[in-house]
Each structure stands twice: as C-alpha cells, then as structure tokens.
C-alpha cells in the first residue's frame, strides 16, 4: 500500500495534520473550559456572597421562608442560577424555585458542609432533571463572625457545553478541509518530486538493457535536478565509451585479420604444394614476419588495456630518467645504421628526479624514435634532445622524414590512426604506438604534441613531463 513515495508523502502530511488538529482541539477545548469555569466560579461566589449579606439579617431568630425565597428568586432571575438558602443546620429556608422547591427539607451536600465549616468547595454535577451539567457553589452566611446559614448556587453549564460543541464541530470541519487540502497538496508536491524520479528510473531501466542514448529532461534545480544532470552526463560517457570500445574491438579484429589471412595462405601453400627447399625457407620467413606482427599487435593491445585500467600495477618512483633514456637510444642506434640514418642525441648529465614508471618512459622514447626511423627515408636525420625547463622535462624527437599534414597532427594520437595506411602497414605498423605514448604521458601528468619539422621538413614530437612541486 505504501510502496510509492507519493502515497508515503501524502499519508505523512495527513497524519501530521490530524495529529496537530487533534492536539490543538484538545488543548483549546480544555483551556476554554477551564477559563469559563474559573470565570463562572468567581462570578457565582461573588453573587453568593452578595446574597448572603442580604439574607444574613433574615436568618437571625426565626427565618421567614417566603421572604427569603423571594430574595432568592429575585437574585436567581438576575444571575440565571438557582439560589437556595439554608440555616446552620442545613435546613432549606429559601429557594428560588418556588414551585416544587426544597423549602423545609434538609439539604445534605458537601458544598454546604464545607461552607458551614467556612471552607469553600465547588462541584460539577450532572442534573438529570435539566439534562445538563451544573456548577454548584456554597458560601457561608455570617452574622458577627458566626455562621448562621449557607447560600447555595447552582448554575447550568449548558452555555459552555454549547460553545464547546460548536468549536468541536468547527474543528472537525477544519480538520476534514485540511486533510483534503493536504491530500491534494501532497499529491501535487509528491508528483513534482516523483515524476523526474520515474523518468530517471525508466531511463535507467532502458540503459540496463543496453540503450545508452538516454537523456532525461532536467525540470528542477534541487537535488533531483542535480542527480538528473549527473545521470545524463553518465549516460553520455557510457555511450561514448561503448562506441569507443566497439570501434576498438572492430579495429583490433580488422588488424588481426590480414596477418591471419596471410598465415592461413602460407601454411596451406606449404602443406599442399611441392616446394623446393629455398621456396620453403622463403615461406617460413614470411610466416615468421606475420607472426611477429601479430605478437607486436597483441602486445600493444595488452599495453593499452593495462593503461586503460584505473588501478595499474605499476608503481611510480622518483627517478632521474637520463640513464633509461640513454639506454633506449643506444639500443636503437644499430637500427639507425641499418636504415642509413644520421642519428644523434643530446642529453644532460642528469636531471631532477621525477615521479615515473621507468619502463613506460622507455616505451615513450622507443615508440617516438621508432616512428622517426620508420617515416624518414635513408639519408635523413633523426635527433633526440632532453632538457630541463623551469617546471618540466622536455623531450624532443626531431626527424627530416615525410612529415605529418597539419590537419592530422591531432589524429595521429588516436588508436589505429595512420596517415598513410598502406605505407605504415608496409612498415609493420598498427597505429597504436602514439596512442600508447599519449596514455603514458597523460598518466604522468604531462603533454605530448607534434609540430612541423625544422625548415618545414619532417616532424618534431615533443613530450613534457612535470617536475615535482617544491613545497
Ligand atoms: N615521425 C613521424 N613522421 C611522419 N609520420 C608519423 C611519424 N610518427 C607517426 N606518424 C604517423 O602517425 C601514424 C600513427 O603512428 P603510430 O606510432 O601510432 O602508429 P604506427 O607507427 O603506424 O604503428 P605502431 O607504432 O603501432 O607500430 C603513423 O601511421 C604515421 O602515419
Ligand atoms: Mg609507431
């Protein structure tokens, strides 16, 4: 029954209203009753005292019932109460109710006894005759400090009961109206709150089924509005990541297909055709090359996956990177000679240690210099410099090769992107080298970009790695 927020909110509003109204009614009615009682009691006591001073001389010697009853009757009419006068033995000697009055009887009442003892007492009693509640007060009649009788007043409480009854009715009407208003208002407010939540739930359900194109309209600026904004952002990011992932898988499969197809043909040829020893060797060399390519591709993919995962196993250390850079460059020197390139580098003796994963720094150098070798024809130059700037270390890989058109200088860092696909593949490239560089540099808080080479020839790849902040 209370499964939806709307019902819960509305029910809560109604419960609060009812509780407040019941409590208010209870307090209000009681205060009113108390106030009226106090007022009535004081008024009746004052009247009784006045009557007692009137009847006091009439109670000495033998009281005249008719005379006293007349006085009682006159007062009773004015104060709208029944007035009874007794002597000190509680015998009624005057009653405002002349017909069927109590004159002559003994009135054995607690209030009268108390008055005779010069104490005050009041009672509220239900009178079946008048079908009403009555307030009763008695005061002593004194003659020279001696109690000679008692004036007893009884006044109906029908007025206050009537008022109470009316107020109770008004309060009931007010409560019912408040409940209706609270119900409507509760539904309205709850709707304002739950409508966006329902929209979010529906969108989340669709996303759970794989449809990430969800965007929920932001209708408020409160917490739910902020949640909706975050949700939309999350949906967008998910959509983008899924698209990237799909593209990545498609590209990776595509890249694997060509070496695998070549391998398939080569192996089948080896098996099905009679080949002489030399031809067999050639085929095996081709198989070897294709396998190498596949292994490199898988290694690159693994590198990227590892760099993508948030928690990498690689721990950073504060190190001077010069020896590692020099080692990598020395390792590549032989390749430069094979390709007949003029290869040189300028490194400082040492640099300020920075926070790095060392093998990743080697990979940056390797990938950039490898590219420079690949895309620079024989006779060209490749130069590497490392320098310490005010707030970073700057690595430049300069070549005099084919260069990169200005409109593609951003794109070369994307996964699988190659300027000249055929040429790159011929060189054994898969288009992942620079994206790995970019990921590593990003992880180290640095920047990487490419500029046009010196005198408009070739390219210059620049990497900056921030120096640790001195506190
Ligand atoms: N020094 C360079 N000179 C000219 N073009 C370059 C240079 N470096 C990279 N490129 C271009 O950028 C593309 C992407 O480079 P990247 O290193 O990512 O891939 P790749 O070298 O083709 O393959 P991989 O590095 O994965 O073996 C290359 O295909 C090439 O077209
Ligand atoms: Mg490369």
Q: Each residue of 313-364: pLDDT tens digit? A: 678 899 999 999 999 999 999 999 999 999 999 999 999 999 999 999 999 9
Q: Are 434 and 370 in contact (CB under 8 A)?
A: no
The pLDDT value recorded for residue 313 is: 63
Give CATH for domain 5-163.
3.30.450.20
Tell me how far apart the alpha carbons of residues 448 and 200 are, in angstroms, rounded to a whole number.
40
Paired residues of 84 in beta bridges: 95, 152
CA of 372 to the centre of ligand 1 (A): 8
Cβ count within 10 A of residue 188 = 11
CA of 140 to the centre of ligand 1 (A): 120
CA of 430 to the centre of ligand 2 (A): 7
pLDDT class for 312, splitting at 50, 70, 90? low
**Per-domain residue ranges of the chain:** 5-163, 223-308, 317-466
Residue 382 has pLDDT above 60, yes or no: yes
Give φ, ψ of 244 to 5 degrees: -60, -40
Tell me how far apart the alpha carbons of residues 135 and 264 are, in angstroms, rounded to a whole number.
115
* Fold for the domain defined by 223-308: Helix Hairpins (1.10.287)
Burial grade of 440 (CB within 10 A; 0-12, 13-18, 19 or more): buried
Q: Which helix (H) or strand (E) holds 2?
A: none
81-95, 117-131, 262-276: range with lowest mean pLDDT: 117-131
Share of the chain above pLDDT 70, in %: 97
Exposure class string for 348-377: b at 16+ Cβ within 10 A, else e: eeebeebebbeebbbbbbbbbbbbbbbbbe
Q: Which residue's CA lies nearest to atom 25 of ligand 1?
A: 433
What is the number of the ligand 1 atom nearest to the C-alpha of 296? 27
90-94, 234-238, 309-313: range with lowest mean pLDDT: 309-313
* Fold for the domain defined by 317-466: Heat Shock Protein 90 (3.30.565)
Q: Each residue of 32-48: pLDDT tens digit? A: 888 988 999 999 999 99
Q: Which residue's CA lies nearest to atom 4 of ligand 1?
A: 403
What is the number of the ligand 1 atom nearest to the C-alpha of 403? 4
The pLDDT value recorded for residue 310 is: 61
Alpha helices in 143-222 (DSSP H): 158-208
Q: Each residue of 133-176: pLDDT tens digit? A: 899 999 999 988 889 999 999 998 888 888 888 988 998 999 89
CA of 447 to the centre of ligand 1 (A): 18
CA of 436 to the centre of ligand 1 (A): 11
111 lines ligand 1 (CB under 6 A): no
Task: Tell me the average pLDDT across 52-81.
Answer: 91
Q: Cα dist. 227→83, 194, 219 in Å?
A: 77, 13, 11
Largest CA distance in the chain: 164
Q: Each residue of 195-224: pLDDT tens digit? A: 888 899 999 999 999 888 889 988 888 888
The best mutation among 396, 398, 412 to test binding of ligand 1, ranked by most ligand atoms within 8 Å of the C-beta, falls on 412
Task: Tell me the average pLDDT across 237-247.
Answer: 89
Q: What is the DSSP letter of 353?
A: -
Q: Which ligand has the minimum distance to the alpha carbon of residue 413?
A: 1
433 lines ligand 1 (CB under 6 A): yes
Task: Tell me the average pLDDT across 281-288.
Answer: 93
Rounded to two decimals, what is the model's pTM?
0.61
Question: What's the whole-number average pLDDT of the chain?
Answer: 90
Residue 366 has pLDDT above 90, yes or no: yes
380 lines ligand 1 (CB under 6 A): no
* DSSP codes joined into one string, 426-450: HTT--S-HHHHHHHHHHHTT-EEEE
What is the number of the ligand 1 atom nearest to the C-alpha of 402? 4
Q: Which residue's CA lies nearest to atom 17 of ligand 1?
A: 433
The best mutation among 293, 434, 436, 459 to test binding of ligand 1, ranked by most ligand atoms within 8 Å of the C-beta, falls on 434
């Amino acid at each position: 029954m209370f499964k939806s927020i709307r019902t819960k909110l509305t029910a809560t509003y109604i419960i609060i209203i009812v509780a407040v109204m019941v409590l208010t009614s209870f307090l209000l009615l009681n205060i009113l009753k108390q106030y009226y009682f106090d007022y009535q009691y004081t008024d009746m006591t004052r009247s009784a005292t006045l009557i007692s001073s009137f009847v006091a001389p009439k109670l000495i010697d033998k009281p005249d019932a008719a005379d006293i009853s007349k006085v009682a009757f006159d007062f009773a009419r004015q104060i709208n109460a029944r007035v009874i006068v007794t002597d000190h033995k509680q015998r009624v000697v005057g009653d405002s109710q002349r017909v069927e009055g109590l004159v002559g009887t003994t009135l054995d009442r607690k209030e009268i006894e108390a008055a005779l003892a010069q104490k005050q007492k009041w009672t509220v009693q239900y009178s079946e005759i008048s079908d009403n509640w009555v307030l009763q007060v008695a005061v002593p009649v004194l003659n020279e400090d001696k109690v000679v009788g008692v004036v007893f007043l009884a006044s109906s409480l029908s007025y206050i009961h009537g008022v109470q009854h009316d107020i109770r009715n008004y309060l009931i009407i007010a409560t019912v109206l408040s409940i209706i208003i609270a119900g409507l208002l509760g539904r309205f407010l709850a709707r304002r709150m739950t409508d966006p939540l329902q929209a979010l739930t529906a969108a989340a359900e669709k996303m759970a089924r794989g449809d990430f194109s969800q965007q929920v309209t932001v209708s408020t600026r409160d917490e739910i509005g902020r949640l909706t904004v975050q949700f939309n952002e999350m949906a967008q990011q998910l959509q983008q990541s899924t698209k990237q992932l799909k593209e990545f898988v498609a590209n990776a499969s595509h890249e694997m297909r060509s070496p695998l197809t070549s391998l398939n043909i080569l192996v089948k040829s080896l098996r099905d055709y009679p080949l002489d020893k030399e031809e067999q060797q050639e085929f095996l060399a081709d198989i070897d090359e294709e396998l190498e390519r596949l292994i490199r591709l898988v290694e690159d993919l693994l590198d990227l996956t590892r760099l993508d995962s948030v928690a990498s196993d690689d721990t950073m250390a504060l190190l001077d990177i010069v020896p590692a850079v020099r080692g990598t460059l020395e390792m590549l020197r032989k390749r430069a000679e094979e390709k007949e390139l003029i290869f040189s580098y300028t490194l400082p003796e040492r640099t300020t240690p920075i926070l790095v994963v060392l093998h990743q720094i080697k990979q940056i150098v390797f990938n950039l210099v490898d590219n420079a070798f690949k895309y620079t024809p024989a006779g060209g130059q490749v130069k590497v410099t490392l320098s310490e700037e005010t707030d970073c270390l700057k690595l430049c890989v300069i070549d005099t090769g084919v260069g990169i058109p200005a409109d593609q200088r951003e794109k070369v860092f994307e996964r699988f992107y190659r300027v000249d696909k055929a040429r790159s593949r011929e060189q054994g490239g898969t288009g992942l080298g620079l994206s790995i560089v970019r990921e590593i540099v990003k992880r180290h808080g640095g920047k990487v970009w490419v500029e046009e080479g010196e005198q408009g020839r070739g390219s210059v790849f620049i990497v900056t790695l921030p120096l640790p902040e001195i506190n």
